Amino acid sequence: MNKLIRLAKAIAGLFLMIFRVRVFRPEKIFSGKSVAIVGPADSAYDEEYGDYIDQFDYVIRINKAITTWEPENQKFIGSRTDILLHSFNETELTGGGPLNFKLFRKHNIQYVLNGKNNLINYRHIFNVYKKYLTFNRIYILEKIKFLNCQRLFDGFSPTNGFRALHMMMTSRPKKIFITGFTFYKTPYADGYRDQFKDVAINLEHLKKSGVHDPDLEYSMFLMLLKNNEGKVILDSRLRKIVENDN
């Protein structure tokens, strides 16, 4: 009986995946639009940007942003989420947290997006449909954007936060606001990944994993910033980081 149930869920999951997955094409979405992106760093809570963020055409958030959002945070980080870029790895330690589609609908998220377009991540999407049997549409980033970002890292894998920045900043937006990104120079915000709030511990974890390269990500971000000169507004902490380096 258990085998039959598993087989039935797998067939249903495959059916849902075939009919509900769509390719996300960033330039069609972001070209000529204003976009705010809110990362997981504690810098997102330095100033009350909430009303400002909610005025943008699109608001992007990352991984656990919805499952950790609280009403008292609204004055700092706003309430709107149009696009959630999620790793589709639900582990609490290193992943993006639970894919709570009921909660996502409550937040009126337009696009639940997987930023990696390869066979492994199509399998991740299949597993999600098989597990939840949800009719929610899932989006996967178009192949060319995925590959263009991947090629910058020479064997390393960019974080989901950088993938979101790259996706948006290479898609000709009119105006960009960035908050909650410090490229691991400051801690995560409370509740996001508390076991790695200590900056030194987090950097050591990243080094041991051998997957991400924070310094390379920051260098690539500076390149994106230069390519979008005159369009980008940084929160005060990231602005100071960039100004100090310059």
What kind and span of H or E run contains 27? helix 26-30
190 lies in a domain? Answer: yes
Domain of 211, in residue numbers: 25-112+140-245
CB 225 within 8 A of CB 208: no
This prediction's pTM: 0.95
Number of separate domains in the chain? 1
What kind and span of H or E run contains 71? none
14 lies in a domain? Answer: no
pLDDT, tens only, 46-99: 999 999 999 999 999 999 999 999 999 999 999 999 999 999 999 876 678 899
What is residue 1's predicted lDDT score, i.e. its pLDDT? Answer: 57
119 lies in a domain? Answer: no
Across-strand partners of 132? none
The DSSP secondary structure of 118-160, one letter per residue, reads SHHHHHHHHHHHHHH-----EEEE-HHHHHHHHGGGTT----H
What is residue 201's predicted lDDT score, i.e. its pLDDT? Answer: 78
- CATH code of residue 213: 3.90.1480.20
209 lies in a domain? Answer: yes
CA distance 119 to 13: 16
What is residue 245's predicted lDDT score, i.e. its pLDDT? Answer: 79
Tokens at residue 147, please? 């590959």
What is residue 19's predicted lDDT score, i.e. its pLDDT? Answer: 96
120 lies in a domain? Answer: no
118 lies in a domain? Answer: no
pLDDT, tens only, 100-159: 999 999 999 999 999 999 999 999 999 999 999 999 999 999 999 999 999 999 888 999
40 lies in a domain? Answer: yes
Using alpha carbons, list the distances in angstroms from residue 31 to 64, 169, 174.
26, 10, 7
CA distance 122 to 144: 16
Tokens at residue 65, please? 């942003």
Q: What's the first-to-final CA gap in the chain, in angstroms?
A: 64
124 lies in a domain? Answer: no
